[in-house]
Chains A and B, each alone.
Chain A
Amino acid sequence: MNRETIINLLIALGLIAVPLWAIWADEPFIITLATKVAILALAGVGLNIALGLGGLVSFGHAAFFGIGGYAMGILASHAQNYTPMMEWPLLIEGTKSMPVIWLVAVLASALAALLIGVLSLRTSGVYFIMITLAFGQMLYYFAISWPAYGGEDGLSIYVRNGFPGLNTLDPAQFLALCYAVLFVVLFLSSRLAKSAFGLALSGARQNEDRLRTVGIEPFRLRLVAFVISGAVTGLAGALYADLNRFVSPTMFSWHMSGEIMVFVILGGVARLFGPVAGAALFIVMEHLLGGISEYWQVFLGLTLLGVVLFARGGLIGTLAGRKVTHD
């Protein structure tokens, strides 16, 4: 077992130990924080597929996060108001069932990623960053100006959506559900990184000419990676909305895109547990430093600067050393 694997295991253990302690000590707030970490980490795991493996610096992942959130908000609001979403040509009703909501969130954000990807992946570097940012902002303004679903005020859902066999109103059970999703996606993402697709995708990041010379066109690889990436972040958006029982256009804002990117960079770009470590560090800083000073983001900024300047591999990279890709 290499060092990074050990560190990943320790992080996973910590992630489970802290809320177990919180349940024992009856600290519901800590449980909520841990749930938030898991969900934001999931959003980061999504981005990491595009950013870490593919080298695609998307500054618009809030688009998928928001679409996931609104998929939940729209479906659940129709269900709670007993109004069908559509009556003609066929009757479509809202739902309070998480699995259905997740499916819709994943499909909708994957579709959006396909469209955005087709239009933006022909560019690279700063242009790609700007185009993805622009798409995110377009959806943000669209959400603000769409009165049917709350416009600027967003949508409130009174009761958390349900999952078969679980009582999702119990914070510990909802946390367990979010952890389960996170760990399943982490597992799939670790397989992806080692798969034929991962080898080619990360190869395209390192040298496009190499990929073309062995007969692989990078564009299609990147498009598929972007779709997978957007879908995972969309799923996180649906969970985030369920955690807060609220969605609003801020889920689409560029701040959100920036935050998701910060998780990845803080924790370690292209590291399996990078977004998990990054999201945990972010939330801990937000709550420790945020209690001391409302300018806590200054400290966040300094930390980020330190990571970018001195610790390129982020938290995981600093602890685990160089990335081992060979086995």
Chain B
Amino acid sequence: MTDPVLVTHDICKSFGALQASRDISLDLRPGEIHALIGPNGAGKSTLIKQIAGGLRPDRGTVQFLGRDVTALDTAARARMGLARTFQISALAMEYTVLQNAVLGALGARGGVFRFFGNVLKDNDLRSAAEAALDRVGLSDQAGTVTGELSHGQRRLLEVAVALTLRPKAFLMDEPMAGLGADGSKRLTGFLDGLRDEAPILLVEHDMDAVFALADRISVLVYGQIIATGTAAEIRENPEVRKAYLGEEDQ
């Protein structure tokens, strides 16, 4: 078996009395989509943040590409090839869609300290940005100011910017939210193919998408992973049904 790309060891994080992460250990293997599901407030986004570097765990470690990255900041992890999309879009809202994508390509290539040439006329950056926009179907919107995009389009732009990084792993926090049925379906199809480029740790509330995509599913409840397994295993797991899926049936 090949080594996992990303591993967390016993991550713990508390906000005051609230334990948002309790001894979370999971891994992400090459070529897979590993879905992380759980009720609202379970600590999914908090975990993503700790893996991405925006939040330091109280205890535990994060390993990426075989290296302990717990002490590295977000930018350093991103440069290693860890791409993230946010649950609440974090884009440069005054910029056009193209500018946001070029910014991603610039981060990936380096060379930020260039003060003279027009960055939008840099062919390498521009073609990387346009290719990424094209892949998520945002080419038509390239000239639109990001603040004017719909909620769903912003999620797609987040994915496009992540693509410009040519990452070794994706962390996606609810990329389907706000997309609508058609959009979700299209993005599901896209992510399905994306796993061959880099594995995806996918937080998602859309259960159809999760069961369609996930090679493995981990269920997070009150900061704790109560089960990890294939879609079939998770569906059958009594604890999961009680703690989580049961709620959906109500």
A209 touches B90 (CB 8 A): yes
Residues in A neighbouring B102, C-beta threshold 8 A:
199
Residues in B neighbouring A197, C-beta threshold 8 A:
112-115
A250 to chain B, nearest CB (A): 33
Asked if A255 lies at the interface with its beta carbon under 8 angstroms from chain B, I say no
A192 touches B115 (CB 8 A): yes
Residues of B81-98 whose CB lies within 8 A of A: 83-84, 86, 90-96, 98
A-side binding surface: helix, strand, loop or mixed? helix
Residues in B neighbouring A323, C-beta threshold 8 A:
94
Cα–Cα distance between A206 and B164 once the two chains are bound (Å): 19
Cα–Cα distance between A202 and B100 once the two chains are bound (Å): 11
Q: A207-B90, A216-B75 are in contact. Are A191 and B161 (CB under 8 A)?
A: no
- For A177-220 the 0/1 string (1 means CB < 8 A from B) is 00000000000100110111111101100110111111111000
Q: Which residues of A contact B (CB under 8 A)?
A: 188, 191-192, 194-200, 202-203, 206-207, 209-217, 221, 224, 323, 325-327
B112 touches A212 (CB 8 A): no
Residues of B56-107 whose CB lies within 8 A of A: 73-76, 78-79, 83-84, 86, 90-96, 98-100, 102-104, 106-107
Mark the stretch among B118-126, B180-188, B209-217 that contacts chain A.
B118-126
Q: A206-B92, A207-B93 are in contact. Are A195 and B116 (CB under 8 A)?
A: yes
Q: Which residues of B contact A (CB under 8 A)?
A: 52-54, 73-76, 78-79, 83-84, 86, 90-96, 98-100, 102-104, 106-108, 111-120, 122, 125, 143, 145, 161, 164-165
B106 touches A214 (CB 8 A): yes
B161 touches A198 (CB 8 A): no
Cα–Cα distance between A212 and B90 once the two chains are bound (Å): 11
A213 touches B74 (CB 8 A): yes
A215 touches B108 (CB 8 A): yes
B54 touches A196 (CB 8 A): no
A207 touches B92 (CB 8 A): yes
A212 touches B96 (CB 8 A): no
| Partner of B91 from A198, A202, A207, A212 at Cβ < 8 Å | A207
Residues in B neighbouring A211, C-beta threshold 8 A:
75, 103, 107
Cα–Cα distance between A326 and B79 once the two chains are bound (Å): 27
Q: Closest chain B residue to A322 by CB distance?
A: B145
Closest 6 CB pairs of A and B: A214-B107, A215-B78, A212-B74, A206-B92, A215-B79, A215-B107
Cα–Cα distance between A191 and B120 once the two chains are bound (Å): 12
Q: A210-B92, A326-B98 are in contact. Are A191 and B115 (CB under 8 A)?
A: yes
Residues in A neighbouring B53, C-beta threshold 8 A:
212
B58 to chain A, nearest CB (A): 21
A199 touches B99 (CB 8 A): yes
Selected A-B contacts with CB under 8 Å, 6 pairs = A191-B117, A199-B106, A213-B84, A214-B78, A215-B108, A326-B96
